[in-house]
Amino acid sequence: MRTSFSSDRRNFLIATGASALALGLPATARAQAAGLDVAVIGAGGAGLAAARQLAGAGLKVLVIEARDRIGGRAWTDTSSVGVAWDRGCSWLHSSEVNPWVAYARANGFETTPDRNVRYVYDGSKRLNEADTAGLRALNQRIESELETAGRRGIDIPAEQAFTLTTRQDPWYPIAAAGLTAWEGIEPANFSALDSFHYVDKGDDLLIPKGYGALLAHYARDVDVRLRTMVSRIRWTNRGVALETPAGTLSARAVVVAVPSSIIAQGSLVFSPWLPAEVLEAHHHLPLGLMNKVALRFKRNVFPGESSEGLRQQRSGSRGMSYITRLWDSNVAVGMSAGALAHELEAAGEQASIEHGLGELAQMLGNDVRRHFDRGAATAWAADPFSRGSYSHCLPGRFGARELLTRPVGDRIVFAGEHTEQSAYGTLHGAHLSGLRAASQVVELLRRG
Ligand SMILES: Cc1cc2nc3c(=O)[nH]c(=O)nc-3n(C[C@H](O)[C@H](O)[C@H](O)COP(=O)(O)OP(=O)(O)OC[C@H]3O[C@@H](n4cnc5c(N)ncnc54)[C@H](O)[C@@H]3O)c2cc1C
């Protein structure tokens, strides 16, 4: 399951004088406008894939990125707790169809199967295989009930797809927590039909150096302009002009590879407005929340094991799950999702660390507190350039992802994990969406 848990680059190229003139750009911008074919907004997995593909097709491309780093929600932190951990994506899902697997292997990045042992605790008691048979059975029933709803094509909240027996099962809270982690929001709030269309093929893999580090490697030759937030896109059927604090950039076409929330919440606007159904589709694909807390200990407080395990409490739908002994280090990474993640994030980084430590202490004993060294927590909801972790589809809104794969005005093409039906919410989905967007732009420009 998804969850169960750079460099500042070169020139600020601006597009053709002709389209700059047509769009009424200032003279300074026109002067810099030599020959940019495509502007890509956002240097995440989607934008970087689009840019590489477009450059490979011989087009002049520039990626414009608001942050001071590339990667977006793929971000490997190597400094805060002394071992590389991914603040965003970490699992290579669907390894049989995930293009990152081949890329990693061809470029010297070790990939390892996710062999984390899953431990469930009841208070401080670690349950055994027999104790958790009920959970495995329930997970299977949930999967089959979601599939039944999906096959019938009914676009209802996932929770409504479950029978009363399922919802009253004593294991339901922990099973629901798994779904909440997957979508970033509780099962009452995401579309069963949308989740049915996600395709999972092959086991999950992990990359010790980090998934974010892998994306950074892939992006090393891409032209990116960092620290440049685009606030408005003016468009005609001849080109686009992007407003940024550093001036206006123009291009023949644009790939908009920012999270759906950025457009839904008005951080990036369009003149003229996008067609209403396109704007609505961004609202129908909000980002749920999953946050992580990395906890470093002075010694190995996970006795009896030499490598990682994934632990969680039986009791709470509001519980966290943890990878302990990350890459054989004394670091644990805890994950919270949905309402709990919002609460913890609002309470602040220290409170998140304290909560993470407290839950771990419940399972492993108070000794872990004594040996605690330092921690760090993510805050993806407040992050101004993502405003959440990954997209889910609201019940009744199936089709929004597909709608966003259609170009607007022959000049605007959307990319991003939220536009990818069979791999939404993932880095490989973002990548595939970028490749799709690039092919569309090539075709649009070929037609003139
Ligand atoms: C905690 C967490 C755990 C996850 N776990 C996994 C996992 O295990 N496996 C997996 O496959 N996926 C996982 N994901 C999801 C995965 O990280 C994302 O689906 C993927 O990285 C999204 O890529 P993207 O290019 O669509 O968007 P982003 O990575 O968000 O890229 C968009 C870029 O646009 C930039 N931007 C935004 N607004 C503007 C603007 N106005 N002007 C210019 N630039 C702008 C942003 O700064 C960002 O760099 C996880 C995500 C999170 C947060």
Residue 225 beta carbon below 6 angstroms from any ligand 1 atom: no
pLDDT digits (tens, 9 = 90+) for 227-285: 999 999 999 989 999 999 999 999 999 999 999 999 999 999 999 999 999 999 999 99
The end-to-end CA distance of the chain, in Å, is 43
pLDDT digits (tens, 9 = 90+) for 319-374: 899 998 898 899 999 999 999 999 999 999 999 999 999 999 988 888 899 999 99
Strands (E), 55-164: 61-64, 76-77, 85-86, 91-92, 112-113, 117-122, 125-126
- Other CB atoms within 10 A of residue 143 CB: 11
Residue 268 beta carbon below 6 angstroms from any ligand 1 atom: yes
Residue 426 beta carbon below 6 angstroms from any ligand 1 atom: yes
Atom of ligand 1 nearest to the CA of 378: 1
Residue 290 beta carbon below 6 angstroms from any ligand 1 atom: yes
Q: Report the CATH fold assignment for 17-72+210-284+395-447.
A: FAD/NAD(P)-binding domain (3.50.50)
CA–CA separation, 259 vs 282, rounded Å? 9
Domain boundaries, the chain: 17-72+210-284+395-447, 115-202+290-379
Residue 5 has pLDDT above 60, yes or no: no
Q: Quick check: 204 and 182 in contact, CB under 8 A? A: no
Residue 341 beta carbon below 6 angstroms from any ligand 1 atom: no
Nearest protein Cα to ligand 1, atom 10: 426
Give Cα 86 distance to the centre of its chain: 12
Residue 15 has pLDDT above 60, yes or no: no
Q: Could you tell me which residue, 31 or 355, shows the higher pLDDT? A: 355
Nearest protein Cα to ligand 1, atom 15: 426
Bridge partner list, 333: 294, 323
Atom of ligand 1 nearest to the CA of 433: 26
Q: Quick check: 359 and 315 in contact, CB under 8 A? A: no
How many Å lie between the centroid of ligand 1 and the Cα of residue 365? 36
* Sheet bearing 61-64, strands edge to edge: 224-225, 61-64, 38-41, 253-256, 412-414
Nearest protein Cα to ligand 1, atom 2: 88
Give Cα 302 distance to the centre of its chain: 30
Query: In the structure, what pLDDT confidence band is assigned to residue 316 with cuts at 50, 70 and 90?
Result: low
How many Å lie between the centroid of ligand 1 and the Cα of residue 322? 22
Nearest protein Cα to ligand 1, atom 34: 42
Residue among 249, 298, 209 nearest 32 (CA): 249
Residue 7 has pLDDT above 80, yes or no: no
How many Å lie between the centroid of ligand 1 and the Cα of residue 68? 14
CA–CA separation, 403 vs 396, rounded Å? 14
Residue among 417, 52, 433, 39 nearest 217 (CA): 52
Residue 404 beta carbon below 6 angstroms from any ligand 1 atom: no
Most ligand 1 atoms within 8 A of CB, residue of 48, 89, 199, 200 to mutate: 89
Report domain 115-202+290-379's class.
Answer: alpha beta
Cα 107-49-400 angle, rounded to 5 deg:
135
Atom of ligand 1 nearest to the CA of 425: 19
Q: Which residue is listed with tokens 């330092």?
A: 374
State pTM to two decimals: 0.93
Residue 132 beta carbon below 6 angstroms from any ligand 1 atom: no
Residue 297 beta carbon below 6 angstroms from any ligand 1 atom: no
Q: Which residue is listed with tokens 């620290």?
A: 227
Buried b (16+ CB within 10 A) or exposed e, 98-113: bebbeebeeeebebee
Distances (CA, A) of 295 to 81, 150, 309, 371: 7, 39, 15, 11
How many Å lie between the centroid of ligand 1 and the Cα of residue 61? 20
